[in-house]
Structure 1
Amino acid sequence: MDDKLTSPKEPQSLSNGKKHGGWRTFPFFIGTVAGLSLASAGIVGNLIVYLIKEFNIKSIDAAQIVNVVVGSSNLVPLVTAVVADSFFGSFSVAFASSCVSLLGTVTLFLTATINSLKPHPCNDSSSTCKPPTKIQYTVLYISIVLISIGFGGSRFTSASLGANQFDKPEHQGIFFNWFFFAFYVASCVALTGVIYIEDNFGWALGFGVCAVATFLGVVVFLSGYGFYRNDKPNGSAVLDLGRVFVASLRKRKWKNSSIMEDYYTGATGYDDIVQILPPTKPGKRLRFFNRAALITDADLNSDNTIKKSSWRLCTVQQVEDFKKIIGILPLWTSSIFLATPIAIQSSLTVLQALVMDRSLGSHFKIPAGSVSVIILISTAIFLTFLDRVILPGWHKVTGKSPTPLQRIGVGHVLNVLGMVVSALVESKRLKLGHEHVSMSVLWLFPQLVLVGVGEAFHFPGQVTFYYQQFPQSLRSTSTAMISTLIGIAFYLSTALIDQVRRCTEWLPDDINHGKVDNVYWMCVLFGGINFVYYLICSISYKYEYENV
């Protein structure tokens, strides 16, 4: 994070009497992300336990369901970003998504309070457990779907809207720092306080707290409407990418020209050829797609004006934007396999915690769903250390800041090391379990700290990289790309776990009779191969801006 995590005082340049935008909007966005993040983490962080204990769903199946929930909530932001940029604007989409999340939270709260909406609890014998009825499943899944769509659609859309309130990049950077800091802090509170309430005082009270937090988040977000700078949607930049691809294929038999005047650089419409000064010349990378901007005889009317066919002729800028995205995709795919082991670990850690000794003293027991808070705490603490100590020290020694790709690379290494420690700890736990000795849940902390520190490197590194390297017209979509890869990773983790269950005996319903350590070693292997792939992609990548 190149921008310091300093107190967001209003700069003089933004206090010039403008009614909309600026730091006056900051409290509303922080309040919104705090309320929604607390509710989201309080629900999803303990959902595995809720499904197992209250809906009699088997442990591995519950883990799979939660993976799908997390995956869906991280895929939704890409859709909402496109809808916001193209049709309705960020505020309308973020507000609608927040309302959907409130509806889903209230519905889940009802499943915890109305006995007819959940099956009878199990007795000591698992054979007496009755599965949920179709109606109970329906209400449960409706609440889960609404929660996935609502929280997923509001988080990154509100982040983009918040960044749009500022004109200077450094102010946008400070906003992002505080936005994600608030997200981590609220999530930590949820994974400790809210989950403790759920485990010790009842699910109804815990989910009720989540519903109230969501409601307050929506109210705070709506209260700031009069101060927001609402940008109008300007059409789909994503659709422009499709036009470039189609136009390139339609002109695949034409040869590229070395003359600038042969390319369309129009910016005001398709009626006339309007030259931009200075003209943008098609780059040499991925020259095949330059054909999309090549003016051919078929693109001209009899009076030499341009025909209105956006699927046959694109501007040079559209072509260059398309090629930027293509150049970034290999690095983006490597991040999918960076997030997949983390997704697998997030589910298995809860299952491990359920069969470990979670006692701290004689009166306190750590909730299984709260164990993963160690990742968030480690990330939040190390983000500050990274921002205040490591990055300034690096700059002092080398004269420049580490590139986003360098930070992501460090995250790759730490993630693999975290999986190695996970495998070693699980091997030890199984050995003690066979001797009927319960291992302390504190042994899970080192691996989670490693993953958290790695996230402090690669997560903000990816935010910075995509925000800087994506075309200007796709800045909102750039932040959603990060959540999209996380969503794909959780879906992929679900598929991998399912395949492991089909082909091996590593993941039975009782993990004490399985080989979870082998699953972690598999993650180590995939992570190592993916790191080599990342190195190849990052070395060959050329930054759009040399000062990055």
Structure 2
Amino acid sequence: MLPCFPSKVRSSSPESPPANTMESKEKRRGGLRTMPFILATDVCDRFAATGFSSNMITYLTQVLHMPMVQASNTLTNFAGTAALTPLIGGLIADSFAGRFWTIAVASVIYQLGMLCLTLSAILRGTRPPPCSGQQPCQEASTGQLWILYFSLLLTSIGSGGLRPCVVAFGADQLDLSKSKKTKDKTSNFFNWYYFCMGVASLLALTLVVYIQDNVGWGWGLGVPTIVMTISVVVFLLGYPLYVFYRPSGSPLTRLTQVVVAAIRKRSAIRPNDGNELYQNREMDASISITGRLLHSDQYKCLDRAAIITERDFTEGGNPKPWRLSTVHRVEELKSIIRTLPVWAATILLVTASSHQNTFSIQQARTMDRHLVGSFKIPPATMNVFTILSLLITLALYDHVIVPLREKYASKPVKWSYFRRMGIGMGVSILSTFVAGFVEVKRKNAAAQAGLLSQPRTTIPISVFWLIPQYSLHGISEAFTHVGHLQFLYDQSPESMRSFGIALFWIAISLGNYLSTLVVSLVHKYTGKEHNWLPNHNLNKGRLEYYYWFITGLQIVNLGYYIICTLFYTYKPLEVAPLENQANGVDGNGHVELAASGVNEREIRDPEVGAARSV
């Protein structure tokens, strides 16, 4: 499942180390001691990524002189590509490379992209000359844009290896702890993960953005590049402490084999008793380390892949994988299919939040940004309020909301990820709704001051009117994104958790691409005279209509999400006893599951976070 290193498969011969020796070696691997290395790595990565991209709309419009809509679409396309590549990275990690090496190599590629863009900001020939007087600004040439796109492509490829693997790699370090506490530990890990990411983003939005706006883009992009180098070193230093799960082969191959086998047996009669379907514990050992998936009654057409016929075995008695799949492998495919409707509901949430780094920053640039005396807040620093509200919400959730819920509830349970995501979606609706009214107030202030035709003149209205929409967005992210990560990690098959986390980033990718499509269509079909999203003068636009249009779409999306959660079926998991899990850890920290059977059957209830015997 996780990073792979060349080593021999653990054997059950008498030469194997005694159980107590294996137990002592296991205790030296994984656990909370690995968290400083993993979280510090991702903190550095998030600091670099946020400092690199949060103010990029300013770089594109003020340095490369791109029109606003083109710059907005460039950023959302880049964000979409960067969020799409984790699917490839997750498959590479789960199939053969392992998460450790995927993270290490991806970090280097990401750093190369940052270095290229930093050099383009320093060298004169790689950017157009500054604007002079009232003359039209010279836009970047084709060659200069190609340097930009190549740099962004490298960072997108690097993101593909980092994003799906770092989260899952960290959570897996806690997976070998006491089984009844595993749910709480992984839930807390996701909270801490997102909290640390928030702190890193906060530092980047204050320090790096200030350097970019007041010192220069060379240092403004160079600082994140240096920090990214530190993240690689810190991650490698933790190598002796990590637990490594062996990659179990391409999950896409297994899923395809299930589909092909089911099609080949489409005329076969499905038995009434699910116990008559094919099961092979030894065959599934490497992909069922902590437990085995049980048969479910959903998507019965796929069960045909596990129907046993005479033609399904070789002369040596081995099953033909393209004709016969085990129940566990069939249920892997079912588990992924079950998550898709809920997963799809998060796409529009990303579309709604994408304006925080584009149109909202352009709004802030036109407003009075004075804080103390002559000190002016950089427009992109307004995202600080998103991060602050996110951090406060995460802290209150863990230390106030959950304890109160457990104290006064009829039974001590934590809020499920479905409730958490639903709350976040509701807050996101409120965020875009409020944003529309703030835009109306901003334009009214411009009209009263006679500045509607002067897009570069500061409007006499405080930039702090934008705080509500930024803060509500942070609260929404604290609920929705953390719940979404926990949902995908928990409901994905254990051998496909990198793939599951990659789905989180694919939703972000599709959300950004959808934002590009919506912005392009709105810009094209809302006329020239009163265009909702004009290229050069936001004061004459109808940005509030765009916000309210997105609000309406989100209301419909929330209704769809509620329906999906009401009919969702959790994956049925037979939990392996703790001693069976421990027996799979060798002295090098690699994890395998012994071929011995499971002595006790337990089904984990995701709502309660505990296992019950059956």
TM-score, normalised by the number of residues in structure 1: 0.91
Distance in structure 2 (CA, Å) of the matches to 1:333 and 1:499: 22
Residue 404 in 1 paired to residue 417 in 2?
A: yes
Structure 1: runs of 5+ lacking an equivalent: 1-12, 271-277
Residue 257 in 1 paired to residue 275 in 2?
A: no
Residue 425 in 1 paired to residue 451 in 2?
A: no
Q: Is 2:102–2:165's contact at 8 Å kept on the other side of the alignment?
A: yes
Residue 489 in 1 paired to residue 511 in 2?
A: yes
Residue 71 in 1 paired to residue 80 in 2?
A: yes
Residue 452 in 1 paired to residue 463 in 2?
A: no
Residue 38 in 1 paired to residue 47 in 2?
A: yes
Code of the residue aligned with 1:142 in structure 2: it is F
Q: Is 2:86–2:159's contact at 8 Å kept on the other side of the alignment?
A: no
Code of the residue aligned with 1:486 in structure 2: it is I
Question: 1:426-441 alignment to 2 at 5 Å?
Answer: 426-436=439-449, 437-441=459-463
Code of the residue aligned with 2:382 in structure 1: it is V
| Match of residue 539, structure 1, among 566, 576, 579 | 566
| Match of residue 181, structure 1, among 195, 210, 213 | 195
Secondary structure, counterpart of 1:372 in structure 2: helix
Structure 2: runs of 5+ lacking an equivalent: 1-21, 285-290, 450-458, 572-603, 608-614
Cα 1:126/1:65, change in 2 over 3 Å: farther
Q: Is 2:163–2:502's contact at 8 Å kept on the other side of the alignment?
A: no
Cα 1:241/1:279, change in 2 over 3 Å: closer
Moved more, 187-196 or 138-147: 138-147
Question: 1:137-286 alignment to 2 at 5 Å?
Answer: 137-166=145-174, 167-168=176-177, 169=182, 170-260=184-274, 262-269=276-283, 282-286=295-299
| Match of residue 323, structure 1, among 323, 334, 337 | 334
Distance in structure 2 (CA, Å) of the matches to 1:282 and 1:385: 39
Cα 1:126/1:333, change in 2 over 3 Å: farther
Cα offset, 1:424, TM superposition: 0.9
Distance in structure 2 (CA, Å) of the matches to 1:77 and 1:258: 40
Code of the residue aligned with 2:559 in structure 1: it is V
Secondary structure, counterpart of 2:325 in structure 1: coil
Residue 506 in 1 paired to residue 529 in 2?
A: no
Code of the residue aligned with 2:229 in structure 1: it is F
Cα offset, 1:47, TM superposition: 0.6
The equivalent of 1:8 in structure 2 is none
Code of the residue aligned with 1:428 in structure 2: it is K
Distance in structure 2 (CA, Å) of the matches to 1:471 and 1:30: 24
Cα offset, 1:93, TM superposition: 0.7
> What are the Cα deviations for residues 164-222 of structure 1, in whole angstroms up to 9, with x where unaligned?
22312244444433332211101110011110011001111111111111111111112
The equivalent of 1:274 in structure 2 is none
Code of the residue aligned with 2:307 in structure 1: it is L
Code of the residue aligned with 1:382 in structure 2: it is T
Distance in structure 2 (CA, Å) of the matches to 1:206 and 1:408: 35
Distance in structure 2 (CA, Å) of the matches to 1:279 and 1:212: 44
Secondary structure, counterpart of 1:264 in structure 2: coil
The equivalent of 1:5 in structure 2 is none
The equivalent of 1:530 in structure 2 is 557
> What are the Cα deviations for residues 424-468 of structure 1, in whole angstroms up to 9, with x where unaligned?
111121222222353221111111111211221112111222222
Q: Is 1:260–1:281's contact at 8 Å kept on the other side of the alignment?
A: no
Cα 1:352/1:252, change in 2 over 3 Å: same
Code of the residue aligned with 1:87 in structure 2: it is F
Moved more, 414-423 or 537-546: 537-546
Distance in structure 2 (CA, Å) of the matches to 1:279 and 1:496: 43
Distance in structure 1 (CA, Å) of the matches to 2:164 and 2:249: 19
> What are the Cα deviations for residues 108-159 of structure 1, in whole angstroms up to 9, with x where unaligned?
11011111111111123352x2222232222221111112222342133122
Cα offset, 1:365, TM superposition: 0.9
Cα offset, 1:338, TM superposition: 2.2
Cα 1:281/1:230, change in 2 over 3 Å: closer
Cα offset, 1:24, TM superposition: 2.9
Q: Is 2:164–2:499's contact at 8 Å kept on the other side of the alignment?
A: no
The equivalent of 1:314 in structure 2 is 325
Distance in structure 2 (CA, Å) of the matches to 1:126 and 1:87: 56
Cα offset, 1:41, TM superposition: 0.3
Cα offset, 1:524, TM superposition: 0.8
Cα 1:416/1:254, change in 2 over 3 Å: same
Secondary structure, counterpart of 2:605 in structure 1: coil
The equivalent of 1:516 in structure 2 is 543
The equivalent of 1:6 in structure 2 is none
Residue 374 in 1 paired to residue 382 in 2?
A: no
Q: Is 2:354–2:515's contact at 8 Å kept on the other side of the alignment?
A: yes
Distance in structure 1 (CA, Å) of the matches to 2:204 and 2:348: 28
Cα 1:116/1:186, change in 2 over 3 Å: same
| Match of residue 83, structure 1, among 92, 109, 113 | 92
The equivalent of 1:275 in structure 2 is none
Residue 338 in 1 paired to residue 364 in 2?
A: no
Cα 1:528/1:174, change in 2 over 3 Å: closer
The equivalent of 1:351 in structure 2 is 362
TM-score, normalised by the number of residues in structure 2: 0.81
Code of the residue aligned with 1:458 in structure 2: it is T
Cα 1:323/1:219, change in 2 over 3 Å: same
Q: Is 2:293–2:331's contact at 8 Å kept on the other side of the alignment?
A: no
Distance in structure 2 (CA, Å) of the matches to 1:280 and 1:94: 28
Code of the residue aligned with 2:256 in structure 1: it is G
Q: Is 1:415–1:450's contact at 8 Å kept on the other side of the alignment?
A: yes
Secondary structure, counterpart of 1:438 in structure 2: strand
Higher relative contact order (CA 8 A, sep 6+): 2
Distance in structure 1 (CA, Å) of the matches to 2:377 and 2:260: 56
Code of the residue aligned with 1:507 in structure 2: it is L
Q: Is 1:32–1:217's contact at 8 Å kept on the other side of the alignment?
A: yes
Distance in structure 2 (CA, Å) of the matches to 1:334 and 1:194: 33
Kindly tell me the number of residue pairs found equivalent between the two proteins.
Answer: 526
Code of the residue aligned with 1:313 in structure 2: it is L
Q: Is 1:101–1:151's contact at 8 Å kept on the other side of the alignment?
A: yes
Distance in structure 2 (CA, Å) of the matches to 1:261 and 1:378: 51
Q: Is 1:14–1:22's contact at 8 Å kept on the other side of the alignment?
A: no
| Match of residue 361, structure 1, among 372, 381, 394 | 372
Q: Is 1:251–1:292's contact at 8 Å kept on the other side of the alignment?
A: yes
Secondary structure, counterpart of 1:449 in structure 2: helix
Q: Is 2:390–2:478's contact at 8 Å kept on the other side of the alignment?
A: yes
Cα offset, 1:513, TM superposition: 1.1
Cα offset, 1:304, TM superposition: 9.6
Q: Is 2:357–2:380's contact at 8 Å kept on the other side of the alignment?
A: no
Q: Is 2:416–2:606's contact at 8 Å kept on the other side of the alignment?
A: no
The equivalent of 1:100 in structure 2 is 109
Aligned-CA RMSD value: 2.3
Code of the residue aligned with 2:521 in structure 1: it is Q
Residue 131 in 1 paired to residue 178 in 2?
A: no
Q: Is 1:119–1:131's contact at 8 Å kept on the other side of the alignment?
A: yes
Secondary structure, counterpart of 2:244 in structure 1: coil
Secondary structure, counterpart of 1:144 in structure 2: helix
